[in-house]
């Protein structure tokens, strides 16, 4: 592909920060954007809610809704997801020209209503039970927030549905 002088190419994807994928494009012609949910909530003065917890809860809800995966299947895949991130994403995130935090302070109250029933399907004899129980406990700290309060343009709609955007 060859771009004309005033054309712009947008390359989307979690691996786009890796220069090996765009090495044919001069460095001064790239503008890299990194988007992630960087949770900034604490349960109390000593215990914070990790970004990883918010992300896995988002993923459980989205995987069920759009990929027909159970919470158990998502938890089984999670190690592979995080291993890939450590190898192919995190080493390159600091090379971004700008970073956007997609975390929303009230999102766990919204996701709670979707994630809890899915997590409760995991049986005590399953290897994923301890993690499911931990996430259930975390979500129990939040009051439920109904979908009717979530704007149709909110990034949360990527996970719970009802967005004005198409994916």
Residue-wise pLDDT tens digits, 142-162: 999 999 999 999 999 999 999
Q: Which residue has the higher pLDDT, 124 or 94?
A: 124
Cβ–Cβ < 8 Å for 107, 55: no
Q: pTM of this prediction? A: 0.87
CA R_g for the chain: 18
Q: What is the pLDDT of residues 13-57, one digit of tens each?
A: 777 888 888 888 888 888 999 998 998 888 889 989 999 999 999
Structural domain spans, the chain: 19-160
């Amino acid at each position: 592909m060859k771009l004309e002088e005033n054309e712009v190419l947008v390359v989307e994807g979690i691996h786009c920060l890796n220069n090996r994928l765009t090495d044919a494009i001069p460095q001064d012609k790239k503008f890299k954007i990194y988007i992630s949910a960087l949770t900034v909530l604490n349960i109390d003065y000593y215990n914070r809610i990790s970004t990883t917890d918010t992300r896995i809860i988002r993923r459980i809800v989205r995987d069920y809704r759009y990929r027909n995966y159970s919470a158990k299947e998502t938890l089984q895949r999670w190690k592979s997801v995080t291993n890939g991130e450590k190898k192919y994403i995190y080493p390159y995130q600091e090379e971004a020209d700008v970073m956007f935090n997609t975390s929303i302070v009230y999102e766990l109250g919204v996701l709670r209503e979707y994630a809890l029933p899915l997590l409760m399907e995991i049986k005590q004899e399953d290897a994923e039970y301890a993690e499911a129980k931990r996430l259930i406990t975390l979500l129990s700290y939040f009051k439920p927030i109904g979908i009717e309060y979530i704007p149709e343009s909110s990034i949360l709609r990527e996970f719970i549905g009802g967005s004005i955007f198409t994916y």
